[in-house]
Amino acid sequence: MGKLTRADALAVALAGPVAALIVAWLAVLAWTAANGHPVWTVRPRSLSEAAAFRDGADVVRRMSAGERTNVPAEVRPGYISGSEPVTVTALEAAARARRIEIVRLLLDLETDLDPAAWTSAWCATDDEGVRMALSHDRPAAAATTCTPSE
């Protein structure tokens, strides 16, 4: 074994951070395998939450599995409401969250849109973009006037 040359010292200096990064990445992978993702830990529990969370992939997966936009489900507090959970349809959750792309996705995927669910979504928002997306697929029996209870 000879002396440590300048090139050898440079190689060791560069390899240290790379080795530390590899060890850190392996630790993150192990944590993820055991406990779920360390950053994105909140997962939608229902189609309504998937709509509120702007999770288009989960919306498509759930609707493909048979969930419908007309069925109300609970959305945890803090996403579209204050400190209390709310029970809303997926379309209303997307409208309240002002998620135009999710509103469009739900309208594209839903084959039997309930007029009452459409009206609830319409009345849940004053966002012009959301209302424009809703207006393109308005059921004939759906109202556009809102009462204080809606």
Domain 47-135, what architecture?
A: Alpha Horseshoe (1.25)
Rounded Cα distance, 57 and 44, in Å: 11
Helix (H, G, I), strand (E, B) or coil at 116: helix
Q: Do 119 and 131 meet the contact criterion of CB atoms below 8 Å apart?
A: no
What does the pLDDT read at residue 147?
81
Question: Which strand (E) or helix (H) includes residue 60?
Answer: helix 56-64
Q: Beta strand 86-88 with 73-75: parallel, antiparallel or unpaired?
A: antiparallel
What are the pLDDT digits (tens) for 16-52? Answer: 899 999 999 998 888 888 877 666 667 899 999 999 9
Rounded Cα distance, 97 and 54, in Å: 8
Where in the chain are the domains?
1-39, 47-135
pLDDT band at 126 (very low <50, low <70, confident <90, very high): very high
Give pTM, 2 decimals.
0.72
